[in-house]
Amino acid sequence: MKVFAAIARSSDEPFSIEECALVRPSSHEVRVKVHACGICHTDSAAKLQHLPVPFPQTLGHEGAGVVEEVGSGVTSLVPGDHVVMTFGSCGTCESCASAKPAYCDDFLAINIAGRREGGAPLRQHGKPVGQHFFAQSAFSTHAIATPRNLVKVDASLPLELLAPLGCGIQTGMGTVLNVLRPAARTGIAVFGVGAVGMASVIAAKIVGCNPIIAVDLVYERLEAARSFGATHVIDGRSSDVSLQIRAITGKGAHFSVDTTGHPSVITEATTCLRKLGVVAQLAAPARGTQYCVPSHVLGGGGLSWRGVVEGDSDIQTFIPDLVRYYRAGQLPLDRIVTTYPLSSINQAIADSDSGKVLKAVLVMP
C-alpha cells in the first residue's frame, strides 16, 4: 500500500517526506496506522551515524497508532486496537524469558540493525528503504510491527501523548522505578533533564525522594524540572557540582542518574554519592566512549554502577503502569509533549536538540 514516510538519505541532509510502498504484514506481524511518533535522541544518533544504520533510512521508534491488519498467526491484537509501539525483542533468549526484554540477546540486531524476515517493510521502486528500525520505523503514516513490540492501550486516551511511553518516558521512569527503587526520603541527583531525565525526576517525586536534584546546562529545563518535582537545581557549568550536591544532601546523594553519557558527567554522578550509593547510566554515547572514576570513590564507597536499557521495562506490564500514572495526574504528559506535523520533522528535531521543547511528537497526516 501507498504510505508517506520521513526518509534520511545521509547524515547531512534534512529528512524528506516521500511516498513509499509498505509490504503486507507476514503471518506473525501487524500493520499499524501510525497516529503519532515521538522523536528520541537515538533517532538523531542513528542519523549522525553514532549508531551504524545504512541510508536511505526510515527512523522513528516511539510510534503509537491503531491496528489496521493482523497476520493469520496473531491472536493477541485485532484491527481497531489502539497500541503504543516500543522496542522489539526475540521472546526466547534467557533475558526475554525472565521478563527483561531490554537485554535481549538480539536487541541490537532487531532494533538498531532492524533485522526483519523478508527485509525492509518500506520500498521505493522495489528497493528497500532502510531496514526495520526498532521493529517499527514509525516516522511514517503506516508501519509494520509485531505483537512483541506493541502494547494495547485504552482507545479513549490521546495517542500523541502516549507515543513517548515506548522509549524516552519508560527509560527515565523505569530507571528509577524498576532499577534504583529508591525508598521515600532518599536523595537522588539527575544529570541532564531532557525528556528522559525529566521522566526520572517525575518518578522520583512519585516515590517520595527528597531531595531531588536536577543538573542541566539549559536554564529553561532546570526551571521545568522544578515544576515537575525537583527540590533543587544546579547549573551543570559550575565547577563544583558534586560539592553542591554534598552540601544539599549532607553526605552525598543515595542515587544518581546520568542521561548524558559524557565522561565528565559520569565522574560527577559518581563522586556526588554517599557510601553504598548507586549510579544508573542510561545514555548511549558514541561507541568506544570510556568512563573514568576514581578507584577510592568507587571501591572505598561501596558504590554500584548500573547500565540501563529502556528502564529495564517489561513492556506489557510497565507501559500500562505508566498509563495509570498519567491517568492519576502523576505523569503530566500534556506538559512534556509538543506536537508537530510530520512535514515539520526537521524543525521538531532542531527544537529537541536545542532544548526548546522537552519531547517533540510528530503527528501523521
Question: Which residues are at the interface with Zn ion (CB under 5 A)?
Answer: 40, 42, 89-90, 93, 96, 104, 167
**At closest approach, how far in Å is the CB of 105 from Zn ion?**
5
**At closest approach, how far in Å is the CB of 68 from Zn ion?**
24
**At closest approach, how far in Å is the CB of 100 from Zn ion?**
9
**Residue 73 contacts residue 179 (beta carbons within 8 Å):** no
**Residue 109 contacts residue 10 (beta carbons within 8 Å):** no
Which is closer to Zn ion, CB of 61 or CB of 254? 61
Cell numbers at 348, concatenated: 521538531
Q: Which residue has the cell 518535582?
A: 229
Which is closer to Zn ion, CB of 28 or CB of 226? 28
Cα angle 357, 144, 157; round to 5: 50
SS3 for 120-161 is CCEEECCEECCCCHHHCCCCECEEEECHHHEEEECCCCCHHH
**At closest approach, how far in Å is the CB of 351 from Zn ion?**
17
Which is closer to Zn ion, CB of 88 or CB of 252? 88
Which is closer to Zn ion, CB of 46 or CB of 266? 46
In angstroms, the CA 270 to CA 364 distance is 42
Which is closer to Zn ion, CB of 41 or CB of 221? 41
Cell numbers at 38, concatenated: 515521538
Which helix (H) or strand (E) element contains residue 69?
strand 63-70
**At closest approach, how far in Å is the CB of 107 from Zn ion?**
7
